[in-house]
């Protein structure tokens, strides 16, 4: 009888412990995930506060940019000039603009790929930022036409925000670091040192 009563107490204590601890473990895991899942405003704020990114934060920024670029590329691929009622001359101009935008976006993907391995490259970072800025500005022109607005949704706006986060949190601190002749990210660098002497 006493053994059965002790078993019930142990069972109740274990049940109570699981009932209390399981939600706490979930909250801890959620806290870890929210630390890692920074949004573009977090990066903009870091840039405004002149905080340098960690290598992990830089990698997350690059992943978010790539995700946003892929979403935008998908939306951009749905745009057909023929869907709008343009005159021949106007349609031809829009077609040229669309082709140039797609090419520029693909070039930005190449820069992004290079930046993964060489985050301290100022010129590549700058060219990446400029290409994305021009892509999102042109997308803003497409956004003014209702039929294209529906296809783009907000992918261009989100890409523009991530590009601003890139400028604030990476490009500007990288330029400051370059002015001081130091590397922003201490990675194993495979490039040979310059023989400036």
pLDDT single digits (tens) 132-171: 999 999 998 888 888 888 899 999 999 999 999 999 999 9
How many of the other CB atoms lie within 10 Å of CB of 163? Answer: 24
Q: What is the pLDDT along the chain (197 residues), one digit of tens a residue?
A: 566 666 666 555 555 444 444 443 443 443 443 344 568 888 888 877 777 888 899 999 999 999 999 999 999 999 988 888 888 888 899 999 999 999 999 999 999 999 999 999 999 999 999 999 999 999 988 888 888 888 999 999 999 999 999 999 999 898 888 888 877 776 655 555 555 44
**pTM greater than 0.75 (yes/no):** no
Q: Tell me whether residue 196 is exposed, middle or buried, using C-beta atoms within 10 angstroms of its C-beta: 0 to 12, 13 to 18, 19 or more.
A: exposed
User: What local confidence, expressed as pLDDT, does residue 35 receive?
Assistant: 40
Tell me the chain's radius of gyration from C-alpha atoms. Answer: 25
User: What local confidence, expressed as pLDDT, does residue 22 receive?
Assistant: 44
User: What local confidence, expressed as pLDDT, does residue 13 receive?
Assistant: 58
User: What local confidence, expressed as pLDDT, does residue 36 receive?
Assistant: 41
CA distance linking residue 122 with residue 5, whole number of Å: 71
User: What local confidence, expressed as pLDDT, does residue 188 receive?
Assistant: 52
Length of the chain, please? 197
φ and ψ at 119, to 5 degrees? -70, -15
Q: Give the right CATH number for 38-179 from 1.20.120, 1.20.1440, 3.40.390, 3.30.230.
A: 1.20.1440
User: What local confidence, expressed as pLDDT, does residue 21 receive?
Assistant: 43
């Amino acid at each position: 009888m006493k053994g059965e009563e002790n078993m019930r107490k142990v069972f109740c204590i274990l049940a109570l412990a699981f009932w209390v601890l399981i939600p706490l473990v979930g909250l801890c895991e959620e806290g870890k995930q929210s630390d890692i899942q920074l949004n573009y405003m977090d990066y903009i704020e870091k840039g405004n506060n002149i905080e340098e990114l960690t290598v992990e934060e830089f990698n997350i920024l690059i992943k978010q940019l790539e995700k946003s670029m892929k979403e935008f590329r998908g939306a951009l691929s749905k745009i057909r000039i023929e869907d709008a009622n343009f005159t021949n001359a106007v349609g031809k101009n829009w077609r040229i603009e669309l082709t140039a935008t797609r090419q520029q976006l693909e070039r930005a993907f190449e820069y992004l790929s290079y930046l993964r391995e060489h985050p301290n490259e100022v010129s590549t970072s700058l060219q990446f930022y400029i290409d994305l800025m021009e892509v999102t500005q042109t997308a803003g022109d497409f956004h003014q036409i209702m039929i294209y607005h529906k296809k783009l949704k907000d992918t261009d706006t989100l890409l523009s925000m991530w590009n601003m986060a890139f400028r604030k949190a990476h490009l500007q601190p990288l330029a400051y670091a370059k002015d001081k002749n130091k590397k922003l990210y201490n990675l194993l660098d495979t490039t040979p040192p310059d023989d400036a002497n």
